[in-house]
Each structure stands twice: as structure tokens, then as C-alpha cells.
Amino acid sequence: MSEQKRIAKELDQRVAERTRELAEANEALKKELVAERQRTEAARRASDQDSRVIVGSMPGLVAILTPAGGVDAVNDELVEYFGRTLEELQQWGTSDTVHPDDLTHVIQIFTKAIASGEPYDFEVRLRRFDGAYRWFQDRGLPRRDASGAILRWYVLHTDIDERKRTEDALRHSEASLRAIVETTPECVHVIAGDGTLLSVNAAGAAMAGASSVDLMLGRNFYDFVTPEDRERYRAFNVSVCAGQKGLLEFHIVRMDGERRHLETRAAPLRNDDGTVAQLGVARDITARKEAEARLRESERHLRQLTETIPVMLWSATPEGAIDYCNARFLEYTGFDAEQLMGSGGFTKILHPDDLDQTVQEWLSCIRTGASFRVEVRKFHAADATYRWCMANARPLLDEHGRILKWYGTVVDMHDWRQAQEELRQTQEKLAYMMRVTTMGELTASIAHEVNQPLSGIMTNAGTCLRMLAADPPDLAGASETARRTIRDANRASEVIVRLRALFSGKELTTESMDLNEATREVIALSMSELHRHRVMLRPELADDLPLVTANRVQLQQVILNLLRNASDAMVGVDDGPRQLLIRTERDEGDRVRLTVQDVGVGLEPHVIDKLFQAFYTTKSSGMGIGLSVSRSIIEKHGGRLWGEPNDGPGATFAFSIPRVPERTTGAALVMRNS
């Protein structure tokens, strides 16, 4: 029993000892765990401190996030950029830190990354302290412990705003370039060295007869080139792909079978893979080529015509050099074609006095493109003389208005000019005859005009003698009577002077004259005859009428003829007054007009066109040359003479002349002075 107690006691002692040892071991282990925990925490704090130091010193916008995604720490550069405190940055999801247009997308990506623990990378616009948004690339990486648990998130914000702007500008530039290429009316294409069509715009597809670009890409362009041009085009493409620029004309057959003529300008283009292709711009020149062919055919027919037509024909380059004269031209002048070719060849056949003026006129037409027309004397080989000719030329223009060629004619007008001179002399003789005839018809009026002052002279002379014979003589009265005698003598002299000027046959010249004054002189000469025919003349002469440069005698002859015709037209008017109106006034275009209006028999429509023909008259005793000569006179003054029926009884005749006649061309002056 005692042995059992002893054993039990020893066992209790051992248990107590083991328990004490175990308690001591546990206490030691607890102290060791606490120490280890303290060491771990210190290490973690040291690591976090090191991380913050590293983050704070990094040259970028850096943030440290908690495992749940909360903002734990940021570096000074990030604070400086945003201009906000750490507490404000922690509320980035509900503030304007992220651009409103990007916020929803950013939250989705960020939330997914935090939940999955996967790194994230996206582009976002972040608000700067001054309110401006700039593009950033936002990268986030998790830091894990040994067990794989996320300890922290490290986030780097990289400013990519300049890159984004550059990329946007590049995309815009590429879009603009693509728009230009797609809208240009010419074919823009890229062709590989083997002929494969790598790129083409819509115009190029349409040029080939394809309904879309997709039908063209990948096809071999050589298949479109006609067989006769294919090898030539292949060599051209190889040359361009070897680095040479080039220009080529060739033919293609469209997908619809139509044949077209193209012109391509090409340069080498280096691709991204290092290969070189042809970058070309092609235009359809079929219409131009057809026009050129028609022009060549037209020129061939023209040359056949020019060699057979009995007219002198010639042509010149756009610069004015003679390059062709037909056989009639060479035969007329007696020169060989080689002698007349070139810019100065035609001067050999011109009269020396006409040379300078003709050359100046020709050079002016070449410069302006105006038609060439000149009268000039040219050498005539048949009789070795110079004969008057009319030279004409007109430019042939292309569709852009550029001069391609000058074509001209030369017509011998020497005999015609002589006939015109003879006609002019005949007209002057007829005009003089008409004045003489008119003088005879106005004899009674002239006698009355002269007799009035002569009668006054006789009366005054007798009165003067009686006053001198009185006792004592009446010297004062005699002096006054003598003065009246001188006045009447001057009146008679003026009548004679006007008559001599009007009916003289001497050479006529132009002068600055008053049309109203010339009209009054004609009225004075005609007044007696008008009274005899019971004509009531009403003059309406404009006060502001300017002087005109004209031949006074010739205009007075026209006015006198119109007055006499109007008076004769009213001879049969007995049922009312015979009223005659003569009016002067300004006309459009710096011209003056004179109008004579009567209430006579009027004009029938079929008569108006014949009135101004020579020897046509409606009078039983008329010669029929008055109106013909009058129109010739007015036209020489650069004017116009016409007649028309009145709304009521009678007719109106009028002429309009320029105040200063237009200057004649130099060529015409040369001809008149020759």
C-alpha cells in the first residue's frame, strides 16, 4: 500500500515538474512570439517608410492604395499637380478629379482590378490645379506578401497629353489626306513591283469601270493595260519601283470593255516592310487625245483646202512666227516659202512706209489675242509694184483659251480702193452739183436776202445827200445815216460770204463749230422760201449744245436738204397749218442730234429702205441724190442719218454725229497718207 502511495507521489511530482516545465516553455514561447511580432511590425513599418520615401522621391505622379483601393499616400508631385489634399484626393470617385466623360469607364476598370487583384492600365483625363484636363496613362500594380495577399497597390500616373495631341493631329491629318485622295477627280493608286494593285481611290475604280474599290484591290494592274502597251508599262513600273520618277501615256481596257487613254505621273513609295511600290496619279486624257486627233485631221483637210483655194492664206505660231503660206501667196509675192518663214519673214513683202505700223499692230494682237486686221501695201511680183491688200488673222484657241495657231488671209483690194476713190470723187461732184442746183432753186430767197440790205443802202445814201445839201448841213444826221449804210452793207456782205461758203467747190476741212449757229445761218437763207410756201418754222435749239468737230459747209448742206424736203412734203397740206420743227439736242454717247419734223404726206413703210438710195426720189422733179449724198456726208462724220413716219401726219428725219470723231487706226492713216 505504502509502495503504491510512493509510486503515486513520485508520479505527482513528475506531473507537477512537467507541468512547471511546460508552463515555463509556454511562457518562453509567448515572449518569443511577441518579440517576433514586434520585429515583424517594425520591419513592416520600416518597409512602409522606405516605400513612402521612395514614392516621394520618384519623378512622377505616384500614389499608394490600400488593398481595398483607398488612397493611402501620394507623392508631393501628385499633390502639386492636382492642387488638392490627401483627404480630397481620397474622394476622387465623387469629385471632378477625373474628367466627367471618363469617370464611369475608369470606375468600372478600377473596381474590377481591385476585386480580381489583376494589374490595370488605362488612359484617362485628370484635372490639373488650374482646371485644365490632361491625358494620363494610369498603371496600377499590387504588392503581395508571402502568402499572396495584397498588401498595397502602387499607382503611377504618366502624362501623355502631348502624345495624345500628336496622335490626334496625325489621325486628323491622315483623315484629311484620305478625304483629299478620295475626293480628287483623278486616280490615285499604289502598285507593287509585280503589278498588284495595293491601293486605289474611288476615282481610280470608276476610271477602270469598277463599281467599288474592293473590286480592284489585289488585282494585277497589268491585266487592265492593253497588250500593245503592257510590256512598256511593266518596264515603267519596274523603273519607278527601282527609285525613278516617271511619266507615261498608255491605254487600258475597262471592266466594261471600253478602251481609254491614260496619262500617269508616278514616284517610288517605300512601304513599312521595306519594299518599294509605285505611287501614281493617273488621269483620263481620252477626250484630249481625240481632240488632238480631230485637230490634226482638221489641219490636214485645211492644208488640202489652202493649197487649192484661190485666196492667199497663211498661218503662224502662237508667238507670231509665220510657218505656212499657200501656193497662191507665194505666187503673188514671188518669194520662196523659206524666205517668208519665221518671225520677220513677212516684213520682206511690205511697203517700207507701212512696215513699222503693221509690225506694231501684229505684235499687239499676239500679246492680247485680238483679231488682226490691217490694210497694207504688199509686193506684187507680176508687175514688181506694191498693191493695196487687206490682211486678216484670227487665233485658234484650245478649251482653256490658249492660242494654238494663227490663221490668216490676204486679199488684193487695190482695184477696189481705186474704185472707192473714184466713187468718193464722184460723190463730191454730186454734192457740189446738188449745192449748185439748190442755189438756182433758192435764187428768189437769195435775191430777197441781198435786196433788203441793198435797198437800205440806197435809201440811206439818198437821205445822207439831202442832209448834207441842207443849209446849214445836218452833219449829225448825215453821220447816223452813213453808219446805217455801213451796217446794211455788212449785212449784204455776210449774206454773200455765207453763199460763197455753202456753194463753193473748194477742198473741205473740219473745224470746231457751233451746230446751232450753222443751223441759224441755213434758216436765214431758207426763210424767204419757207414763207413763200406758207411754212411755219419753229426752231428748238438746245442752250447747252457742245461744240462739234465737223465740216461746216457739208453739215449745212445736209440741214438745207432736210429743210427743203420737209417744206416740199407739205406743199399739198391745205387743211391745217404747215408746221415745221427743227430741233438740236444732246444725244447718248457724247453725240449731238439734229431733228427735222414736218406734217406733210409722211412715209410709207416700203419706201423707208429706198429713200437713201442714189437716184431714188418720190418727187416728180427730183434728182434723187439729196438724201444719198446727205447720208454719205453724215457717215463720213462717224454718224447716222435716218427717217421715220410720225405717229400723226408727216415724217421725221434726223442725224446724230459724235462731238469728236473717233480716231482712225494707224494702218488706215498710213493708207490715206500714201
Q: What percent of the chain has pLDDT over 70?
A: 79
CA 232 – CA 563 distance, rounded (Å): 87
Read off φ and ψ for residue 335, nearest 5 degrees. Answer: -100, 155
Kindly report the number of other CB atoms within 10 A of residue 650's CB atom: 22
pLDDT band at 113 (very low <50, low <70, confident <90, very high): very high
pLDDT band at 127 (very low <50, low <70, confident <90, very high): very high
pLDDT score recorded for residue 527? 80
Residue 180: pLDDT above 70? no
CA nearest neighbour of 221 among 237, 238, 197: 197
pLDDT band at 667 (very low <50, low <70, confident <90, very high): very low
pLDDT score recorded for residue 476? 80
CA 30 – CA 138 distance, rounded (Å): 46
pLDDT band at 309 (very low <50, low <70, confident <90, very high): confident
pLDDT score recorded for residue 653? 92
In single-letter form, the type of residue at position 396 comes to L
Residue 151: pLDDT above 50? yes
Judged by DSSP in three states, 140 sits in strand
pLDDT score recorded for residue 174? 64
Are 627 and 612 spatial neighbours (Cβ–Cβ below 8 Å)? yes
CA 95 – CA 71 distance, rounded (Å): 14
pLDDT score recorded for residue 435? 58
Are 541 and 653 spatial neighbours (Cβ–Cβ below 8 Å)? no
Q: Mean pLDDT over residues 420-443, rounded?
A: 62
Instruction: Please measure the distance between the N-terminal and C-terminal CA atoms of the chain and give it in whole angstroms.
Output: 184
Q: Which long-range contacts (CB under 8 A, 24 or more apart) does 45-51 make?
A: 51/152, 51/154
Between 432-446, 453-467, 656-670, the lowest mean confidence (pLDDT) is in 432-446
Q: The C-alpha cell of 84 is what? A: 488638392
Between 322-331, 465-474, 650-659, the lowest mean confidence (pLDDT) is in 465-474
Residue 201: pLDDT above 80? yes
pLDDT score recorded for residue 372? 92
CA 527 – CA 539 distance, rounded (Å): 12
CA 184 – CA 207 distance, rounded (Å): 12
CB-based contacts of 355: which residues, under 8 Å, 6+ apart?
347
pTM across the whole model: 0.34
What are the tens digits of pLDDT across the range 482-533? 777 777 677 666 656 655 655 554 445 788 999 999 999 888 877 877 888 8
Tell me the Cα Rg of the chain.
58
227 preceded by a cis bond (ω within 30 of 0):
no
Residue 80: pLDDT above 70? yes
Alpha-carbon torsion 6, 9, 13, 14, what sign? positive
Mean pLDDT of the chain: 81
